[in-house]
Amino acid sequence: MTTSTSSTTDRVHDTLAWLKRRGTKRNRDGMARYAIVAPKVFGVSVADLRGRGKVLGQDQALAVALWKTGWYEARMLAAFVADPDETTALQMDRWARNFDNWAICDHLCFHLFDRTPHAWRKIDQWGRRREEFVKRAAFALLASVALHDKQAGDGEFMRALPLVERAASDERNFVKKGVNWALRSVGRRNRALHAAAVDVSRRLADAQSPSARWVGKDALRELTSPAVLRRVERR
> What is the tens place of the pLDDT at every residue in 108-164?
999 999 999 999 999 999 999 999 999 999 999 999 999 999 999 999 999 999 999
∠ Cα 105 107 110 (to 5°): 110
Is the pLDDT score of 1 beyond 60? no
What is the rounded CA–CA span in Å between residue 190 and residue 176? 23
What is the rounded CA–CA span in Å between residue 183 and residue 177? 10
- Check residue 3 and give its pLDDT: 60
Q: How much is the average pLDDT of 5-10?
A: 86
Q: How much is the average pLDDT of 98-108?
A: 97
Is the pLDDT score of 37 beyond 80? yes
- Check residue 235 and give its pLDDT: 81
What is the rounded CA–CA span in Å between residue 102 and residue 109? 11
On whether the CB atoms of residues 146 and 157 are closer than 8 A, the answer is yes
How would residue 6 be classed by pLDDT, with cut points 50, 70 and 90? low
What is the rounded CA–CA span in Å between residue 3 and residue 207? 53
> What is the tens place of the pLDDT at every residue in 192-228?
999 999 999 999 999 999 999 999 999 999 999 999 9
Q: Model-level pTM greater than 0.85?
A: yes
- Check residue 126 and give its pLDDT: 98
Is the pLDDT score of 2 beyond 90? no
On whether the CB atoms of residues 68 and 10 are closer than 8 A, the answer is no
> What is the tens place of the pLDDT at every residue in 45-88?
999 999 999 999 999 999 999 999 999 999 999 999 999 999 99
What is the rounded CA–CA span in Å between residue 113 and residue 84? 7
> What is the tens place of the pLDDT at every residue in 157-201?
999 999 999 999 999 999 999 999 999 999 999 999 999 999 999
Residue 203: partners with Cβ closer than 8 Å, 6 or more residues away: 165, 216
On whether the CB atoms of residues 191 and 233 are closer than 8 A, the answer is yes
HSE-up (13 A, CA, CB side) for residue 129: 19
The secondary structure of 115-167 as a DSSP string is GSTTHHHHHHHHTT--SHHHHHHHHHHHHHHHHH-TT--HHHHHHHHHHHHHH
